[in-house]
Structures are given as C-alpha cells and as structure tokens.
C-alpha cells in the first residue's frame, strides 16, 4: 500500500472513530440506580439526575474520591428509603475533572448536557471558578463541598452568585478561631506560619490567622511558603526554628502537614503546631507518628469520634471498607443539602431547587446544625478544636459562629 492511500485510510478511520465516540458521549451513562419499580415512564417515576464533578484522578484524587463516597452514601440511602417526590430516585453521574480547572469546565459542560438538576463539586476553588458561568447560563445549581474561598458565592461587588452554594465554612472564620485559640489557650506571643501556595485554601487560612493574631498585638515572626506535594520541609523548618516562635500554624492538607510535623519534631521543635480542617482527612498520625503528633491542634468542622456520628461512620465503613474522613463528611452533607432542598421545593424545577437551597435556613446534618445565609450562600457552623493525644484526636473546645 502506498503511503498516500495509507494516510487517507488512517484519516478516514480516525474520523469515523471520532464521530462514533462523540456520538457515544451524547447518550447518558448507564443509570447507577435500579429502575423504578412498576416501570411507569411518567415524570413522577423518572430518576433525578445529579452530576458529580470531582477530582477522581490527579493530585487531589484522594479528596475527590472520599467526597464521592460520601455523596453516593447519602444518595443510596435516600434511594433505599424510596426516594423523594413520590418515589423518584436520584441517579448520580460522575465526571472526573483530573484536579484541573480546565477539565472541571469540560466536566461541567458535559454534565449540564445530561440534564442534571445539580452539580456537586468540584472540591477546589479554582475548579469551581471555571464552572460558575456555565451553571449560571444553564440554570443548574452547583454545591461545592470544600471550596472555601469567599468569592465563590459572593462576587467582588458584593452580589451573590445565585446558583453557587457550599457546604463548608469560609476561610475567615476558621483562621480567626485558630488565632484566638493560639492566643487564649496556648498563650502564644509569637507565631510562625507555613502555608501552601499551590491551592488558595491554605493561603486564605494563613492570611486570616495572621490578621487576627496581629490585631491582638501579637507578632508573626516568620512566614514560609511551600508547594503542595513537597515532601522535604527541612530547610524552611530550620528557618522557622531560628525565629523561635511559640506556635507554628500550618494550614494545608494532611500529607504536607504530616511531613511538616514529623520533620519539625526531628529538627527539635517541641512547641505546639496547629492546623486547619485539612488535617481532618487521611492518616496524619500514621505519617507523622503518634509521639510527634502530641502537642498539635487543629480546627475542624466535625469531631469524627463523636458518639452522635457513629452511625455514619459505621455505614461508611460497611460500604467502603475504610473509615470516613473530613471530605467524606462534606460530600455526604453536600448531597444531603440537595436532597433536603428537593424535598422542600417539591419539584426539580431549577428555580424551585435554587430557592429551596437559598432558604434552607437551619439545616441539621451529621456534623451539626448549619445555618445558611441567603445573602451569602455560606453556611455558619460550629468549629471544633481537636488535640492529638498519643495519636488520638481529643475534643478540646467548640466555637460557635458569630
């Protein structure tokens, strides 16, 4: 076969495949829930499509998968109880955003095309920002489990993004709680901060911690930055150590922070180390070691060993064979918010669901009562401070939102 014919043949084949594959995309993925008993095709029995736009691969895959597990648990539970709105079941469609903003935009576009009434996720701020316009144009609500940046729901000019909601608290509150705890309970006069610059979660907490801490007349003696995924923190730990702070605040995700704690203890820093709710997932103690984790504290939205949570923990353990983490809780609560809103709305009309979410008011979920502000779409919820004692999280105090 001459190369020319060969080339044309390849092109034709590729075009054919592309067309077939793209045509395949148009059809929705197989339903994840069993068909409604009775088989009535009327709108009453139709499944309710919900899109999960999550970090299933890439650098944040661990968080995305935990969140997805939590969401599925909530939907499976309500489906097993007979669904909502006279027996309509939830049908969740997962899309992977590869932990990347651009891919999150693609995933949202795809899900919007599959007639979803809501998109749950993405987990990170940047990925949510890439989806706001699409969901707004298509009248689909988006609830992010863990996008903490304040500007997701409220624009710079103070107007609220009508279709965007969240299940987590925003950076300022958490930073303040941490700073006040450092001052009041730990008696810190000086602090050092180390934060991650790759996502904006960590920087937001650091900034708000610093503001509160300095407003109380204390000093931040050293600020260091790192990039998420770093494993070697020894150089910046030496820098912090030489500034001799009373407390170190490291508000990033658990792998980075566990490495930090381990290496700080090895370098001879014995003072208190604090973190944010990013510590609430994964095996901090496993990485850093139980002894090293003594005298460390974190702010969290949930105390997972609380007796009132044990039903959820057991269900999760049974379903997935591992213990839930903070992201599982957030995922579960995100799905619960949607389920509750659909029930309250009494329909799956976009505007009805949106308005029901906005007026959710006080909503009791597994981590406690969340109060939604219709002006900002932000939930106010209690913060808890936990202390690690010999590898076990112990409840230290609870801080109510202002």
Partner 1 sequence: MSAEFILQQLLNGVSLGSIYALIALGYTMVYGIIQLINFAHGDVMMVGAYTGWYCTTVLHMSFLPAMLVAMLACSVLGVVIERVAYKPLRKSTRLAALITAIGMSFFLEYGMMFLVSPQTRTFPPVFPQTIYHIGPLTVKYGDIVIITVTVCLMTLLTVVVKYTRIGKAMRAVSFDKEAAALMGINVNNVISATFAIGSALAAAAGVLIGVYYNTVQPLMGIMPGLKAFVAAVLGGIGIIPGAMLGGLALGLTEVFVSAIGFSTWRDAGAFLILIIVLIVKPTGLLGQNTREKV
Partner 2 sequence: MRWEKNLILLAAAGVFFVLTSILAGRGLISRFVLLTMTQVCIYIILALGLNLITGFTGQLSIGHAGFMSIGAYGAGFIMKTFDVQAGPTLIFFIPFALIFGVLVAAAFGVLLGLPTLRLRGDYLAIATIGFGEIVRIVLLNTKALGGASGMPLKQFVGWGAAYWLMLLSVVLIYNFVNSSHGRACIAIRENEIAAETMGINTTKYKVMAFAIGAGLAGLAGGIYANHMYMIQPSTFNFLKSFEILVMVVLGGLGSITGCILGAIVMTVMNNALGIFPEIRMIIVSVLLVTMMIFRPNGLMGTTELRLPFRRGPFGTKGDMTNGG
CB of 111 to partner 2, least distance (A): 9
Q: How far apart are the first and last CA of the chain?
A: 77
**Binding partner of residue 75 among partner 1, partner 2, none, CB cut-off 5 to 8 Å per kind:** none
Degrees, nearest 5: CA angle 31-33-36: 100
CB of 114 to partner 2, least distance (A): 9
CB-wise, 59 or 355, nearer to partner 2? Answer: 59
CB-wise, 26 or 34, nearer to partner 2? Answer: 26
Residue 102 sits in the site that holds partner 2 (CB under 8 A): yes
**Binding partner of residue 289 among partner 2, partner 1, none, CB cut-off 5 to 8 Å per kind:** partner 1
Paired tokens of 134: 């699409």
Query: Comparing C-alpha atoms, which of 192, 201, 196 is closest to residue 273?
Result: 192
CB-wise, 56 or 192, nearer to partner 2? Answer: 56
Length of the chain: 402
| Separate counts of helices (H) and strands (E) for the chain | 14, 15
Spatial separation of the C-alpha atoms in residues 262 and 45, rounded to whole Å:
54
Quickly count: other Cβ atoms within 10 Å of residue 268's Cβ. Answer: 8
**One of 4, 81, 217, 270 touching partner 2 (CB under 8 A):** 4
Residue 198 sits in the site that holds partner 2 (CB under 8 A): yes
CB of 229 to partner 2, least distance (A): 10
Residue 284 sits in the site that holds partner 2 (CB under 8 A): no
* 379-380 β-sheet, strand order: 362-365, 368-372, 379-380
User: What string marks each residue from 340 to 359 as x (binds partner 2 by CB under 8 A) or -?
Assistant: --------------------
Q: Which residues bind to partner 1, rule: CB under 8 A?
A: 57, 59, 61-62, 65, 197, 224-227, 229, 231-232, 234-236, 238-239, 242, 255, 258-259, 262, 266-268, 282-283, 286-289, 291
Contact between 86 and 115 under an 8 Å Cβ cutoff? The reply is: no
Residue 149 sits in the site that holds partner 2 (CB under 8 A): yes
CB-wise, 266 or 311, nearer to partner 1? Answer: 266
H or E segment and range at residue 377: none
Question: How many chain residues touch partner 2 (CB under 8 A)?
Answer: 48
CB-wise, 239 or 344, nearer to partner 1? Answer: 239
Spatial separation of the C-alpha atoms in residues 95 and 142, rounded to whole Å:
14
Distances (CA, A) of 353 to 246, 270, 342, 369: 49, 51, 6, 20
Query: Comparing C-alpha atoms, which of 279, 298, 32, 262 is closest to residue 181?
Result: 298
Residue 53: phi, psi to the nearest 5? -100, 95
CB of 295 to partner 1, least distance (A): 16
For binding to partner 2 (CB under 8 A), which residues are involved? 3-4, 7-8, 10-11, 14-15, 17-18, 21-22, 24-26, 29, 56-57, 94-96, 100-102, 104-107, 109-110, 112-113, 125-127, 129-134, 149, 197-200, 203, 227
């Amino acid at each position: 076969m001459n190369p020319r014919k060969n080339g044309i043949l390849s092109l034709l084949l590729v075009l054919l495949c592309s067309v077939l594959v793209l045509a395949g995309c148009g059809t929705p993925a197989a339903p994840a829930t069993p068909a409604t008993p009775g088989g009535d095709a009327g709108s009453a029995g139709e499944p309710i499509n919900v899109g999960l736009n999550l970090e299933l691969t890439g650098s944040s895959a661990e968080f995305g998968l935990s969140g997805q597990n939590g969401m599925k648990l909530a939907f499976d539970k309500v489906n097993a109880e007979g669904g909502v709105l006279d027996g309509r079941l939830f049908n969740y469609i997962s899309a992977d955003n590869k932990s990347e903003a651009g891919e999150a935009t693609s995933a949202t576009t795809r899900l919007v095309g599959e007639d979803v009434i809501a998109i749950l996720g993405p987990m990170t701020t940047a990925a949510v920002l890439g989806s706001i316009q699409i969901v707004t144009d298509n009248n689909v609500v988006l609830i992010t489990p863990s996008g903490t940046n304040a500007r997701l729901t409220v624009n710079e000019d103070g107007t609220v993004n009508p279709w965007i909601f969240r299940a987590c608290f925003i950076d300022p509150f958490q930073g303040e709680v941490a700073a006040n705890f450092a001052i009041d309970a730990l008696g810190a006069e000086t602090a050092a901060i180390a934060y991650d610059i790759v996502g904006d979660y960590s920087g937001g907490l650091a900034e708000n911690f610093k503001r509160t801490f300095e407003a109380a007349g204390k000093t931040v003696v050293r600020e260091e930055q790192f990039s998420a995924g770093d494993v070697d923190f020894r150089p910046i730990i030496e820098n912090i150590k030489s500034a001799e702070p009373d407390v170190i605040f490291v508000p990033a995700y658990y792998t980075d922070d566990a490495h930090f704690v381990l290496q700080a203890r090895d370098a001879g820093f014995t003072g208190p180390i604090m973190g944010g709710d990013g510590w609430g997932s994964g095996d901090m103690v496993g990485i850093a070691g139980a002894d090293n984790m003594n005298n460390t504290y974190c702010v969290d939205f949930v105390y997972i060993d609380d007796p009132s949570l044990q039903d959820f923990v057991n269900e999760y353990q049974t379903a997935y064979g591992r213990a839930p983490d903070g992201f599982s809780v957030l995922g579960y609560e995100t799905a619960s918010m949607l389920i509750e809103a659909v029930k309250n709305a009494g329909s799956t009309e976009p505007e009805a669901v949106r308005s029901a979410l906005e007026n959710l008011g006080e909503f009791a979920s597994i981590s406690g009562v969340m109060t939604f502000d219709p002006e900002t779409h932000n939930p106010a919820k209690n913060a808890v401070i936990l202390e690690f004692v010999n590898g076990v999280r112990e409840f230290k105090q609870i801080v109510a939102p202002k």
